[in-house]
């Protein structure tokens, strides 16, 4: 695992959408915008069971994540890594509520039908650019 630089941690902690890339059965990329947070250096995203990204990562856990500062497109972080854990149930429901607070300032309003899932992503490679004119800083 590669640690996240402090600047990348700050970016993830802000309410910027992330793009999660998984691999389709034929190897082509599939991209989904979603909410993100972290647990130390482990990235966490939350999705509903049955979605394409869940099927893809269960077959091939390799993923890429891009977080782009919506007010400065030159401030971004990219992680290449792999899904190391999939968690459902009450923990996933609590997590989607935390993300809803972060991104919308209120509790999640979707159904609590047990279909939420947390995907934990361990970074293998991290790149970060810190604003206008900043060049990526490879971390591995």
139 domain-assigned: no
Residue 25, token pair as written in the block:
């059965």
Residue 68, token pair as written in the block:
């782009």
105 domain-assigned: yes
83 domain-assigned: yes
Q: What percent of the chain has pLDDT over 70?
A: 94
Q: How far is CA 125 from CA 66, 94, 98, 112, 133, in A?
A: 12, 29, 26, 35, 22
137 domain-assigned: no
Q: How many domains are there within the chain?
A: 1
Residue 94, token pair as written in the block:
């609590």
pTM over 0.85: yes
**Domain of residue 118, residue span:** 6-130
135 domain-assigned: no
Write out pLDDT tens, residues 80-122: 999 999 999 999 999 999 999 999 999 998 877 879 999 999 9
Question: What number is the average pLDDT over the span 61-65?
Answer: 98
Q: Please answer whether residues 119 and 44 qualify as being in contact, where contact means their C-beta atoms are separated by less than 8 angstroms.
A: yes
30 domain-assigned: yes
Q: What is the CATH number of the domain that holds 73?
A: 2.30.110.10
Residue 95: what are its φ and ψ, rounded to 5°?
Answer: -65, -45
Task: Tell me what pLDDT residue 7 has.
Answer: 93
138 domain-assigned: no
DSSP state, residue 131? S
């Amino acid at each position: 695992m590669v640690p996240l630089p402090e600047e990348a941690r700050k970016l993830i902690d802000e309410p910027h959408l992330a793009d999660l890339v998984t691999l389709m059965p034929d190897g082509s990329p599939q991209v989904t915008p979603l909410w993100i947070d972290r647990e130390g250096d482990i990235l966490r995203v939350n999705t509903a069971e049955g979605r394409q990204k869940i099927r893809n990562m269960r077959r091939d856990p390799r993923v890429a994540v891009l977080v782009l500062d919506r007010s400065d497109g030159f401030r971004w972080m990219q992680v290449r890594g792999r899904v190391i854990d999939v968690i459902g149930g009450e923990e996933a429901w609590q997590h989607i509520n935390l993300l809803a607070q972060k991104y919308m300032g209120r509790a999640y309003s979707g159904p609590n039908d047990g279909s939420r899932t947390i995907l934990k992503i361990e970074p293998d490679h991290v790149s970060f650019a810190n604003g206008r004119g900043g060049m990526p800083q490879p971390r591995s």
